[in-house]
Amino acid sequence: MSDAQRDEIVFKISDVVARECRTAFGGRLISVILTGSAARGEATIVSSGDGWKILGDAEFLVVLHQAVGPASTRSRDTVKRESAEKLRLQGIEVTIGLGLVPVSYLKELPAYIFSYELRECGKVISGNPQILNVIPQFSASAISREDAWRLLCNRMIEQLEVVGDLERTPQQLTNSLHYATVKLYLDMATSYLVFAGAYAPTYRERAQRLMTLASQSNDDAPFSLKDFGATVSECTSWKLNGKEGDRNRSLQFWQEAISYAHQLWRWEITQMTGASNKSTDTELWTKLAEAMTVREKIRGWLSVIKRSSALEIFRNWPRWLKLGSRATPRYWVYRAGAEVLFDFEARMTASSKKGSPDFADSHAASLLPVCQMKTGTAETSWKSAASEITANYWRYVAETRA
């Protein structure tokens, strides 16, 4: 796909969303901002029958005068539904991501990757064209390393939503698993570059900077930057052109991605905590937990309480007291997700067959803020644990900075 074609499709999506937002929010609307890969001109768009399909979400922020409440949430859902339907009639299949925020949200954004990319690459498609100027100014070198590590963990957990596809097609990756693996490679590069002091806001720039680093002496890197960079360049090329024939759908492509993720995950924790690179994964988790403040823990668990029903609070408060004394809920969800994903990959690699290994993972499930299945039994499969982990992630982690 040419850049001109991509720009035309993104323009059509933005135009429909902007009109629907103006209708739904009226005088409360300040601005509509296009964010993410679509704003950077890097959305993956593939041919779909007689039309086009956008892989991933087309992401927007809607800045409102009034605080977000139930009425605004209903309006948001209407905008998403109506926009998707009208675009479908134009031959464009897309999932709309719509975040509702007040101006204060933009003013208080921390030095995170999202904040930097929003300020540098976000596009105001309706309303106040200067709204992005209220985001605090900071350099790329000031981006939080913890945020970069969180990005890596997020992509690892998102793997758990689709890795079960290997049971159905063990010799090659499904479309969903391939796309998730490409995203993992690209954001491993993003995460590493933050730690290396070479971050850039677009996939193209990141691939170039990674190859530049690979041409230099990097004894401190967690793996061969030359090999890793070559794969990231291939993923970047596919992400931008979306050509079917360019995809590497081999099982090895996925296995190498998880191996890279594990090495990078360990290396970044040692960089943040000063732990020995010879430490076990459990020892690294302990180091992370020891660095957390009481305030961070309280804030995290108050966020969980806010998002839980009275019955869930009643049933889980003894566990929450125990878990909360040690770490934040985000930490526990990340820990459970990493344990299941790394264990799964290790068993896949060791298995003589290419199907999904069957193993229990009740320990990981027991670490979660809320778990609907019985833990501590051999009947707790990895698939059940993965489902519980992703449910906790989307409910308690993805929509909050706590």
Q: Is 249 buried (19+), middle (13-18) or exposed (0-12) by CB count in 10 A?
A: middle
Mean pLDDT of 43-67: 90
What are the tens digits of pLDDT across the range 367-376?
Answer: 999 987 765 5
In the beta sheet, which residues pair with residue 46? 53
User: Look-up: residue for tokens 């943040």?
Assistant: 272
pTM: 0.91
User: Look-up: residue for tokens 């800045």?
Assistant: 63
CATH number (1.20.1050, 1.20.120, 1.25.10, 3.40.50) of 144-276 reads 1.20.120
Whether residue 34 has pLDDT greater than 80: yes
Q: What is the distance between the alpha carbons of residues 385 and 36, in angstroms, rounded to a whole number?
A: 30
**Percentage of residues in the chain with pLDDT exceeding 70?**
93
Q: Is 290 buried (19+), middle (13-18) or exposed (0-12) by CB count in 10 A?
A: exposed
**Helix axis angle, 175-196 relative to 251-273, nearest 10°?**
30
pLDDT band of 378, cuts 50, 70, 90 = very low
What are the tens digits of pLDDT across the range 151-192?
Answer: 999 999 999 999 888 877 667 888 899 999 999 999 999 999
- Where are the CATH 3.30.300 domain residues in the chain? 3-138
- Comparing 203-207, 209-213, 216-220, 352-356, which segment has the lowest mean pLDDT? 352-356
Say if CB 240 and CB 204 are below 8 A apart: yes
Q: State both tokens at 52.
A: 């086009």
Q: State both tokens at 38.
A: 């679509």
User: Which H, E and C letters describe the chain, residue by residue?
Assistant: CCHHHHHHHHHHHHHHHHHHHHHHHHHHEEEEEECHHHHCCCCEEEEECCEEEEEEEEEEEEEECCCCCHHHHHHHHHHHHHHHHHHHHCCEEEEEEEEEEEHHHHHCCCCCHHHHHHHHHCEEEEECCCHHHHCCCCCHHHCCHHHHHHHHHHHHHHHCCCHHHHHCCCCECCHHHHHHHHHHHHHHHHHHHHHHCCCCCCHHHHHHHHHHHHCCCCCCCCCCHHHHHHHHHHHHHHHHHCCHHHCCCEHHHHHHHHHHHHHHHHHHHHHHHCCCCCCCHHHHHHHHHHCCCHHHHHHHHHHHHHCCCHHHHHHHHHHHHHHHCCCCHHHHHHHHHHHHHHHHHHHHHHCCCCCCCCCECHHHHHCCCCCCCCCCCCCCEHHHHHHHHHHHHHHHHCCCCC
Q: State both tokens at 255.
A: 């296995």
pLDDT at 267: 97
User: Look-up: residue for tokens 């020891």?
Assistant: 290
Say if CB 60 and CB 32 are below 8 A apart: yes
Q: Does domain 3-138 have CATH number 1.10.1060?
A: no
- Where are the CATH 1.20.120 domain residues in the chain? 144-276
pLDDT at 379: 46
**Considering Cα of 379, then 380, then 382, then 386, what sign does the dihedral take?**
positive
What are the tens digits of pLDDT across the range 329-341?
Answer: 999 999 999 999 9
What are the tens digits of pLDDT across the range 186-214?
Answer: 999 999 999 999 999 999 999 999 999 99
